[in-house]
Amino acid sequence: MEMLETIRLAITDFLNFSLIDNAFLSIDLWSAIHFLTGMLLMFLIVLVGVKKFYWKYLLLLLLLVAYEIFEFTMYGILDSQFFNPETLANVFWDIKIGLWGGTLVIFLLWIKKMLKKL
């Protein structure tokens, strides 16, 4: 069990490495996770059949915001190393980067649709 905790802490420390961090921009290695999560969530939103463009983005936005609220709540409850306190800039960029991941999925699906028309 101690070995798992050591591995978890090593991974968390690695992902917490800050690439850019100032009052307006906060990018760390967790940003890649948020991008991939946005992609996965948008793929699932499309898969369940949400048709309207704006509903896809609204649902993705709500899910990303809900996760940030969950993350904040877990830090308060667990006071753990896994959920570190985040600045408002970091929360904003986590959500924005997740939306960019979702945008990539929509773009790739649009390209696929256009290629089928050829």
CB neighbours of residue 108 within 10 Å: 13
End-to-end CA distance of the chain: 56
Rounded distance between C-alpha atoms, residue 52 and residue 116, angstroms: 20
Confidence bin at 11 (pLDDT 50/70/90): confident
At 79 the pLDDT is: 60
Q: Please list, residue by residue across 68-87, b when 16 or more beta carbons sit within 10 angstroms of its beta carbon and e when fewer do.
A: beebeeebeeeeeeebeebe
Strand partners for 65: none
Q: Report the domain count for the chain.
A: 1
Task: Give me the domain span that covers residue 60.
Answer: 2-117
At 101 the pLDDT is: 98
Q: Give tens-digit pLDDT for 68-104.
A: 998 888 777 766 656 667 888 889 999 999 999 999 9
Confidence bin at 15 (pLDDT 50/70/90): confident
Question: Residue holding tokens 């991941």?
Answer: 101
At 73 the pLDDT is: 83
Amino acid at 94: D
At 42 the pLDDT is: 98
Three-point CA angle 39, 72, 70, nearest 5°: 55
Q: Give tens-digit pLDDT for 18-72.
A: 888 888 888 999 999 999 999 999 999 999 999 999 999 999 999 999 999 988 8
CB contact at 8 A, 97 and 34:
yes
Q: Which residue has the higher pLDDT, 23 or 115?
A: 115
Rg (CA), the chain: 17
